[in-house]
Amino acid sequence: MNMSTPARTTLRQSPRHVGEAVAHSNAFEALARAGFVARGLLYGIIGVLAIKLALGAGGKLTNQQGALRTVAHQPFGKALLVLVALGLGGYALWRLTRAALGHGPEASDSGFDRVAALGSGVVYALFCVLAIEILVGSTGGSSNPHKATAGILGWPAGPELIGIAGAVMIGIAAYQGYRGVTHDFLKDSKTEKMSPALRRWITIIGTFGHLSRMAVFGLIGIFLIKAAADYDPRKAVGIDGALGKLTSTNNGHVLLAVVAAGLIAFATYSWSDALYRRI
Protein backbone atom coordinates (compact mmCIF):
# COMPACT_ATOMS: atom_id res chain seq x y z
CA MET A 1 0.00 0.00 0.00
CA ASN A 2 1.29 3.45 -0.89
CA MET A 3 0.76 5.56 2.22
CA SER A 4 1.43 8.81 0.32
CA THR A 5 -1.60 8.48 -1.96
CA PRO A 6 -4.17 10.01 0.46
CA ALA A 7 -1.89 12.96 1.11
CA ARG A 8 -1.44 13.55 -2.62
CA THR A 9 -5.21 13.29 -3.18
CA THR A 10 -5.88 15.80 -0.40
CA LEU A 11 -3.26 18.15 -1.86
CA ARG A 12 -4.80 17.90 -5.33
CA GLN A 13 -8.26 18.64 -3.97
CA SER A 14 -7.28 21.47 -1.63
CA PRO A 15 -7.47 24.34 -4.17
CA ARG A 16 -11.05 23.39 -5.01
CA HIS A 17 -11.88 23.08 -1.30
CA VAL A 18 -10.46 26.56 -0.76
CA GLY A 19 -12.55 27.86 -3.66
CA GLU A 20 -15.69 26.26 -2.23
CA ALA A 21 -14.98 27.78 1.18
CA VAL A 22 -14.50 31.24 -0.31
CA ALA A 23 -17.65 30.92 -2.44
CA HIS A 24 -19.74 30.09 0.63
CA SER A 25 -18.33 32.84 2.85
CA ASN A 26 -20.44 35.79 3.98
CA ALA A 27 -17.88 38.29 2.67
CA PHE A 28 -17.96 36.73 -0.80
CA GLU A 29 -21.75 36.80 -0.87
CA ALA A 30 -21.78 40.46 0.22
CA LEU A 31 -19.35 41.37 -2.60
CA ALA A 32 -21.43 39.49 -5.16
CA ARG A 33 -24.64 41.21 -4.05
CA ALA A 34 -22.90 44.59 -4.18
CA GLY A 35 -22.05 43.68 -7.76
CA PHE A 36 -25.72 43.53 -8.71
CA VAL A 37 -26.18 47.01 -7.27
CA ALA A 38 -23.25 48.29 -9.36
CA ARG A 39 -24.51 46.55 -12.51
CA GLY A 40 -27.93 48.08 -12.00
CA LEU A 41 -26.40 51.53 -11.52
CA LEU A 42 -24.60 51.35 -14.88
CA TYR A 43 -27.70 50.24 -16.79
CA GLY A 44 -29.84 52.73 -14.90
CA ILE A 45 -27.62 55.67 -15.85
CA ILE A 46 -27.44 54.56 -19.51
CA GLY A 47 -31.23 54.12 -19.61
CA VAL A 48 -32.10 57.40 -17.86
CA LEU A 49 -29.79 59.48 -20.08
CA ALA A 50 -31.16 57.78 -23.21
CA ILE A 51 -34.80 58.24 -22.27
CA LYS A 52 -34.17 61.91 -21.48
CA LEU A 53 -32.71 62.29 -24.98
CA ALA A 54 -35.72 60.50 -26.51
CA LEU A 55 -38.08 62.85 -24.66
CA GLY A 56 -36.10 65.96 -25.60
CA ALA A 57 -35.06 66.61 -22.01
CA GLY A 58 -31.36 67.06 -22.61
CA GLY A 59 -30.03 63.53 -22.19
CA LYS A 60 -27.36 61.79 -24.23
CA LEU A 61 -26.30 58.36 -25.42
CA THR A 62 -23.52 56.75 -23.45
CA ASN A 63 -21.94 53.40 -22.66
CA GLN A 64 -20.66 51.80 -19.46
CA GLN A 65 -17.56 54.00 -19.39
CA GLY A 66 -19.71 57.10 -19.79
CA ALA A 67 -21.93 55.87 -16.97
CA LEU A 68 -18.87 55.51 -14.73
CA ARG A 69 -17.75 59.04 -15.60
CA THR A 70 -21.26 60.27 -14.78
CA VAL A 71 -20.91 58.71 -11.32
CA ALA A 72 -17.52 60.40 -10.88
CA HIS A 73 -19.03 63.82 -11.64
CA GLN A 74 -21.67 63.59 -8.91
CA PRO A 75 -21.28 65.08 -5.41
CA PHE A 76 -18.97 62.74 -3.49
CA GLY A 77 -18.32 61.17 -6.90
CA LYS A 78 -14.94 59.63 -6.05
CA ALA A 79 -16.32 57.93 -2.96
CA LEU A 80 -19.27 56.64 -4.98
CA LEU A 81 -16.98 55.42 -7.74
CA VAL A 82 -14.85 53.53 -5.20
CA LEU A 83 -18.00 51.70 -4.07
CA VAL A 84 -19.02 51.02 -7.67
CA ALA A 85 -15.54 49.67 -8.48
CA LEU A 86 -15.75 47.35 -5.47
CA GLY A 87 -19.16 46.17 -6.59
CA LEU A 88 -18.00 45.54 -10.16
CA GLY A 89 -14.97 43.68 -8.86
CA GLY A 90 -17.19 41.61 -6.58
CA TYR A 91 -19.54 40.75 -9.45
CA ALA A 92 -16.59 39.77 -11.67
CA LEU A 93 -15.12 37.60 -8.90
CA TRP A 94 -18.46 35.87 -8.36
CA ARG A 95 -18.89 35.11 -12.07
CA LEU A 96 -15.31 33.88 -12.46
CA THR A 97 -15.64 31.70 -9.36
CA ARG A 98 -18.88 30.27 -10.73
CA ALA A 99 -17.09 29.46 -14.00
CA ALA A 100 -14.23 27.78 -12.14
CA LEU A 101 -16.34 25.73 -9.72
CA GLY A 102 -19.01 24.82 -12.27
CA HIS A 103 -22.02 25.07 -9.99
CA GLY A 104 -24.23 27.40 -8.05
CA PRO A 105 -26.00 26.76 -4.76
CA GLU A 106 -28.21 23.89 -5.87
CA ALA A 107 -27.07 22.32 -9.13
CA SER A 108 -24.22 21.87 -11.56
CA ASP A 109 -23.88 24.37 -14.36
CA SER A 110 -23.84 23.32 -17.99
CA GLY A 111 -20.80 23.98 -20.15
CA PHE A 112 -22.66 26.92 -21.69
CA ASP A 113 -23.37 28.39 -18.25
CA ARG A 114 -19.69 28.17 -17.32
CA VAL A 115 -18.56 29.83 -20.56
CA ALA A 116 -21.18 32.56 -20.07
CA ALA A 117 -19.99 33.09 -16.49
CA LEU A 118 -16.38 33.32 -17.69
CA GLY A 119 -17.25 35.88 -20.37
CA SER A 120 -19.35 37.93 -17.97
CA GLY A 121 -16.62 37.83 -15.34
CA VAL A 122 -13.98 39.09 -17.76
CA VAL A 123 -16.24 41.91 -19.02
CA TYR A 124 -17.08 43.15 -15.53
CA ALA A 125 -13.45 42.88 -14.47
CA LEU A 126 -12.66 45.26 -17.34
CA PHE A 127 -15.41 47.62 -16.14
CA CYS A 128 -13.81 47.51 -12.68
CA VAL A 129 -10.46 48.44 -14.24
CA LEU A 130 -12.15 51.31 -16.11
CA ALA A 131 -13.58 52.62 -12.86
CA ILE A 132 -10.13 52.49 -11.22
CA GLU A 133 -8.57 54.29 -14.19
CA ILE A 134 -11.16 57.06 -13.90
CA LEU A 135 -10.45 57.30 -10.17
CA VAL A 136 -6.71 57.75 -10.69
CA GLY A 137 -7.23 60.15 -13.59
CA SER A 138 -5.92 57.86 -16.33
CA THR A 139 -7.00 58.64 -19.90
CA GLY A 140 -5.75 55.37 -21.33
CA GLY A 141 -8.95 53.43 -20.76
CA SER A 142 -11.00 54.95 -23.55
CA SER A 143 -13.61 52.52 -24.82
CA ASN A 144 -13.96 53.07 -28.56
CA PRO A 145 -15.40 50.22 -30.66
CA HIS A 146 -14.16 51.84 -33.88
CA LYS A 147 -10.52 51.89 -32.74
CA ALA A 148 -10.70 48.39 -31.26
CA THR A 149 -12.28 47.01 -34.42
CA ALA A 150 -9.77 48.80 -36.65
CA GLY A 151 -6.92 47.25 -34.69
CA ILE A 152 -8.33 43.73 -34.95
CA LEU A 153 -9.16 44.10 -38.66
CA GLY A 154 -5.42 44.56 -39.24
CA TRP A 155 -4.63 41.16 -37.74
CA PRO A 156 -4.32 37.96 -39.80
CA ALA A 157 -7.89 36.65 -40.08
CA GLY A 158 -9.03 39.88 -38.40
CA PRO A 159 -12.30 40.21 -40.35
CA GLU A 160 -13.17 36.62 -39.45
CA LEU A 161 -12.51 37.31 -35.76
CA ILE A 162 -14.73 40.41 -35.85
CA GLY A 163 -17.43 38.41 -37.64
CA ILE A 164 -17.23 35.68 -34.99
CA ALA A 165 -17.48 38.32 -32.25
CA GLY A 166 -20.60 39.67 -33.97
CA ALA A 167 -22.11 36.20 -34.17
CA VAL A 168 -21.37 35.67 -30.47
CA MET A 169 -23.12 38.94 -29.63
CA ILE A 170 -26.16 37.84 -31.65
CA GLY A 171 -26.09 34.54 -29.76
CA ILE A 172 -26.00 36.44 -26.45
CA ALA A 173 -28.90 38.56 -27.68
CA ALA A 174 -30.90 35.45 -28.52
CA TYR A 175 -30.18 34.02 -25.07
CA GLN A 176 -31.35 37.25 -23.44
CA GLY A 177 -34.55 37.02 -25.47
CA TYR A 178 -35.03 33.39 -24.43
CA ARG A 179 -34.51 34.30 -20.78
CA GLY A 180 -37.04 37.09 -21.07
CA VAL A 181 -39.78 35.25 -22.99
CA THR A 182 -39.60 32.05 -20.93
CA HIS A 183 -38.99 33.81 -17.56
CA ASP A 184 -35.96 31.54 -17.17
CA PHE A 185 -34.29 34.25 -15.07
CA LEU A 186 -36.70 33.46 -12.23
CA LYS A 187 -34.87 30.16 -11.69
CA ASP A 188 -31.94 32.17 -10.33
CA SER A 189 -34.06 33.99 -7.76
CA LYS A 190 -35.36 33.02 -4.33
CA THR A 191 -38.95 33.20 -5.54
CA GLU A 192 -40.12 31.27 -2.48
CA LYS A 193 -39.26 34.33 -0.38
CA MET A 194 -41.28 36.72 -2.57
CA SER A 195 -44.89 37.69 -2.14
CA PRO A 196 -47.11 36.99 -5.19
CA ALA A 197 -47.23 40.71 -6.01
CA LEU A 198 -43.45 41.07 -5.81
CA ARG A 199 -42.93 38.02 -7.98
CA ARG A 200 -45.29 39.45 -10.64
CA TRP A 201 -43.44 42.78 -10.52
CA ILE A 202 -40.00 41.15 -10.87
CA THR A 203 -41.34 38.98 -13.71
CA ILE A 204 -42.50 42.11 -15.56
CA ILE A 205 -39.32 44.14 -15.14
CA GLY A 206 -37.09 41.11 -15.73
CA THR A 207 -38.88 40.26 -18.97
CA PHE A 208 -38.82 43.86 -20.21
CA GLY A 209 -35.19 44.28 -19.21
CA HIS A 210 -33.95 41.09 -20.88
CA LEU A 211 -35.82 41.89 -24.10
CA SER A 212 -34.27 45.36 -24.18
CA ARG A 213 -30.81 43.87 -23.70
CA MET A 214 -31.64 41.50 -26.56
CA ALA A 215 -32.31 44.48 -28.82
CA VAL A 216 -29.09 46.27 -27.84
CA PHE A 217 -26.80 43.23 -28.02
CA GLY A 218 -28.40 42.15 -31.29
CA LEU A 219 -27.66 45.53 -32.89
CA ILE A 220 -24.07 45.44 -31.63
CA GLY A 221 -23.66 41.99 -33.18
CA ILE A 222 -25.22 42.97 -36.51
CA PHE A 223 -22.99 46.00 -36.90
CA LEU A 224 -19.88 44.04 -35.93
CA ILE A 225 -20.67 41.63 -38.75
CA LYS A 226 -21.22 44.57 -41.12
CA ALA A 227 -17.88 46.04 -40.06
CA ALA A 228 -16.18 42.72 -40.83
CA ALA A 229 -17.98 42.18 -44.14
CA ASP A 230 -17.27 45.73 -45.39
CA TYR A 231 -13.83 45.97 -43.76
CA ASP A 232 -15.02 49.22 -42.22
CA PRO A 233 -14.38 49.69 -38.47
CA ARG A 234 -16.62 52.78 -38.44
CA LYS A 235 -19.63 50.46 -38.62
CA ALA A 236 -18.84 48.83 -35.26
CA VAL A 237 -20.91 50.17 -32.36
CA GLY A 238 -21.12 49.83 -28.59
CA ILE A 239 -24.20 50.27 -26.42
CA ASP A 240 -24.39 53.99 -27.15
CA GLY A 241 -24.03 53.39 -30.88
CA ALA A 242 -26.67 50.66 -30.82
CA LEU A 243 -29.11 53.02 -29.11
CA GLY A 244 -28.23 55.67 -31.66
CA LYS A 245 -29.12 53.32 -34.52
CA LEU A 246 -32.66 53.17 -33.17
CA THR A 247 -33.11 56.90 -33.72
CA SER A 248 -32.40 56.54 -37.44
CA THR A 249 -35.47 54.35 -37.97
CA ASN A 250 -39.11 55.33 -38.39
CA ASN A 251 -40.45 56.47 -35.01
CA GLY A 252 -36.85 56.24 -33.82
CA HIS A 253 -37.28 58.33 -30.68
CA VAL A 254 -40.22 56.16 -29.64
CA LEU A 255 -38.11 53.03 -30.09
CA LEU A 256 -35.26 54.64 -28.19
CA ALA A 257 -37.60 55.54 -25.33
CA VAL A 258 -38.97 51.98 -25.17
CA VAL A 259 -35.52 50.32 -25.17
CA ALA A 260 -34.15 52.89 -22.71
CA ALA A 261 -37.10 52.21 -20.39
CA GLY A 262 -36.26 48.53 -20.70
CA LEU A 263 -32.68 49.18 -19.62
CA ILE A 264 -34.03 51.04 -16.58
CA ALA A 265 -36.25 48.01 -15.92
CA PHE A 266 -33.16 45.78 -16.15
CA ALA A 267 -31.40 48.06 -13.65
CA THR A 268 -34.33 47.66 -11.26
CA TYR A 269 -34.27 43.89 -11.81
CA SER A 270 -30.53 43.90 -11.00
CA TRP A 271 -31.24 45.66 -7.72
CA SER A 272 -33.83 43.02 -6.89
CA ASP A 273 -31.12 40.43 -7.61
CA ALA A 274 -29.01 42.05 -4.91
CA LEU A 275 -31.63 40.81 -2.45
CA TYR A 276 -33.04 37.65 -4.01
CA ARG A 277 -30.38 36.13 -6.27
CA ARG A 278 -29.20 32.66 -5.33
CA ILE A 279 -25.47 33.21 -4.79
Residues with Cβ < 8 Å from 56, sequence gap 6 or more?
none
- What tens digit of pLDDT does each residue of 52-90 get? 999 999 999 999 999 999 999 999 999 999 999 999 999
Q: Which residues pair with 103 in a beta bridge?
A: 108
Residues with Cβ < 8 Å from 68, sequence gap 6 or more?
42, 81, 84, 127, 130, 131, 134
- What tens digit of pLDDT does each residue of 101-159 get? 876 655 667 778 888 899 999 999 999 999 999 999 865 545 678 888 989 988 999 99
Report pTM: 0.89
Rounded percentage of the chain residues whose pLDDT exceeds 70: 89
Average pLDDT of the chain is 90
Is 55 a domain residue?
yes
Is 51 a domain residue?
yes
Is 181 a domain residue?
yes
Give ∠ CA 210-110-90 in degrees, rounded to 5.
60
Is 143 a domain residue?
yes
Query: pLDDT value at position 146?
Result: 83
Higher pLDDT, 78 or 12: 78
Is 47 a domain residue?
yes
Residue 2 above 60 pLDDT?
Answer: no
Is 224 a domain residue?
yes
Between CA 91 and CA 102 the distance in angstroms is 16
Number of domains in the chain: 1
State which residues form the domain around 159: 26-276
Is 4 a domain residue?
no
Cβ atoms < 10 Å from Cβ of 180? 22
Is 257 a domain residue?
yes
